[in-house]
Chains A and B, each alone.
Chain A
């Protein structure tokens, strides 16, 4: 435990100053967004759309973080990073956790500004036709949490795949002198094309569609008839197992196949 915390502290220390700069940048950008939202009279929702696009991008944040963090280790500090008694999954999960802390901070600030901008735009464009600001605001607040959690989980998911690609490429270095890129590409195709294909099959259906999860009924009466994608326990388990597998396979590769 002490070792994992030490590793986490190290990961955090590595990115601490960069995080502060990024937060500063976000605050400035956020304030600018707020300013433009106030002044936005002709194009309803423009700033909100931009802000929401930024929010959506966070689903790739951990993928970028892991790739960059691992590249730094491969290129500069691999001898230190790997000459330790801790197992590979511990080294990698600490890295992911460090990224997670960064994610929460940056995502949190971005969401706050997005909500603020949304409120401003909602108020700006309140018209007799556009019924109920309160309804719109409540909807956003209600589903916003689910979407935020999904984005964060999605980020962890992409982060783990990014880690798998990076470690896979490093592991193949001892076997192939060239063509590591193709190894990375092959691994990349699994969560993208491969998963898409698999999820269309009957096997997947049988495997996953059980244990339907019922989200608490929305307090907003008007929305009760809207039907979103239902959530199954099987599906949650499916992704959880994949994520755990990614961590352990990468850890195993780090311990047995990677050479530096």
Chain B
């Protein structure tokens, strides 16, 4: 009887958890980027991954995106192991400018349309209008802010179950950041999607988050609900962050 219950629990967990890290370690020659990380993340939430520079946030995200492979332990996305080809179910917004600069915005959208089955071209054009981007512009001629906006459009035009964003707001001015945040809220579908983002703009992003994961020096310290932080612990996210990451 106990065994059946465990199996059902396991199934339920798989059904509700979009991400599962099981004793994940990531080693590079001469450095350990992530140490024995074990946690699960639920679906349908906006999750913030916060921590100082070099703490391993990008590593965690890239492990989820299949761009890195764990040295030890397993990474499961949607119940499946994260391989390089998990890109069919995971949208990844890189911190780097990983766009093909000679393409126009329209050409970039058509490229994504052709590669991803879950790409919604109408939504993409809707978002372009929202962000006030001109499809005929060439990527290399876009301002930094507009490139940031385009990256969000590409990520959110996909119906992927998991959307990963690595520093989507970094280096952008407040107006652009606001439009990206509003764009995110407008176009995300939390009934079918989960968003995980790393960011330094903790105070700005707090109202948008459901859950926060604190990481420092390659170790995942805590996974906490925003409501608990304010409700029970009575502090803002910034204060909690200072306390947890001290």
A82 and B30 contact, CB distance less than 8 A: no
B99 interface hit (Cβ, 8 Å): yes
B100 and A10 contact, CB distance less than 8 A: yes
B75 interface hit (Cβ, 8 Å): no
When distances are taken between beta carbons in the complex, the residues of chain A under 8 Å from B4 are none
* Bound Cα distance A35, B87 (Å): 55
When distances are taken between beta carbons in the complex, the residues of chain A under 8 Å from B28 are 174, 177
A14 interface hit (Cβ, 8 Å): yes
Mark A225-260 against chain B: 1 for CB-CB distance below 8 A, else 0: 000000000000000000000000000001110111
Residue pairs across A and B with Cβ atoms less than 8 A apart, 6 shown, are: A6-B111, A6-B115, A81-B98, A83-B65, A83-B66, A260-B67
A85 and B87 contact, CB distance less than 8 A: yes
**Interface secondary structure of A, over-half rule:** helix
Which chain B residues numbered 1 to 48 have a C-beta less than 8 Å away from chain A?
Answer: 28-30
When distances are taken between beta carbons in the complex, the residues of chain A under 8 Å from B99 are 77, 80
B29's contact among A81, A177, A254, A256, by CB below 8 Å, is which?
A177
User: Min CB distance, B144 to chain A, in Å?
Assistant: 16
User: Min CB distance, A85 to chain B, in Å?
Assistant: 3
A7 and B115 contact, CB distance less than 8 A: yes
Residue of A nearest to B97 (CB): A76
B159 interface hit (Cβ, 8 Å): no
B92's contact among A3, A79, A258, by CB below 8 Å, is which?
A79
When distances are taken between beta carbons in the complex, the residues of chain B under 8 Å from A10 are 100, 111
When distances are taken between beta carbons in the complex, the residues of chain A under 8 Å from B101 are 76
User: Min CB distance, A135 to chain B, in Å?
Assistant: 49
Mark A61-83 against chain B: 1 for CB-CB distance below 8 A, else 0: 00000000000000011111111
Query: Which of B28, B107, B115 counts the most A-chain CB atoms under 10 A from its CB?
Result: B115
B87 and A14 contact, CB distance less than 8 A: no
* Bound Cα distance A174, B68 (Å): 9
Indicate the size class of the contact surface on chain A.
20 to 34
Residue of B nearest to A177 (CB): B29
Known: A6-B115, A83-B90. 13 other contacts (CB 8 A): A3-B114, A6-B114, A17-B102, A76-B96, A77-B100, A80-B98, A82-B84, A82-B87, A84-B115, A85-B89, A86-B115, A87-B85, A177-B29
A13's contact among B67, B84, B98, B107, by CB below 8 Å, is which?
B107
A82's contact among B67, B102, B103, by CB below 8 Å, is which?
B67
A221 interface hit (Cβ, 8 Å): no
A43 interface hit (Cβ, 8 Å): no
B69 interface hit (Cβ, 8 Å): yes
A2 interface hit (Cβ, 8 Å): yes
B183 interface hit (Cβ, 8 Å): no
B79 interface hit (Cβ, 8 Å): no
B83 interface hit (Cβ, 8 Å): yes
B84 and A77 contact, CB distance less than 8 A: no
User: Min CB distance, B26 to chain A, in Å?
Assistant: 10
When distances are taken between beta carbons in the complex, the residues of chain B under 8 Å from A88 are 84
A9 interface hit (Cβ, 8 Å): yes
When distances are taken between beta carbons in the complex, the residues of chain A under 8 Å from B89 are 85
Which chain A residues numbered 175 to 232 have a C-beta less than 8 Å away from chain B?
Answer: 175-177
A14 and B102 contact, CB distance less than 8 A: yes
A2 and B114 contact, CB distance less than 8 A: yes
A254 and B84 contact, CB distance less than 8 A: yes
* Bound Cα distance A78, B86 (Å): 15
B130 interface hit (Cβ, 8 Å): no
B29 and A176 contact, CB distance less than 8 A: yes
A5 interface hit (Cβ, 8 Å): yes
* Bound Cα distance A254, B66 (Å): 12
* Bound Cα distance A242, B201 (Å): 52
B120 interface hit (Cβ, 8 Å): no
B100 and A80 contact, CB distance less than 8 A: yes
When distances are taken between beta carbons in the complex, the residues of chain A under 8 Å from B116 are 84-85
B96 and A84 contact, CB distance less than 8 A: no
When distances are taken between beta carbons in the complex, the residues of chain A under 8 Å from B98 are 76-81
User: Min CB distance, B100 to chain A, in Å?
Assistant: 6
B87 and A83 contact, CB distance less than 8 A: yes
A84's contact among B29, B62, B88, by CB below 8 Å, is which?
B88
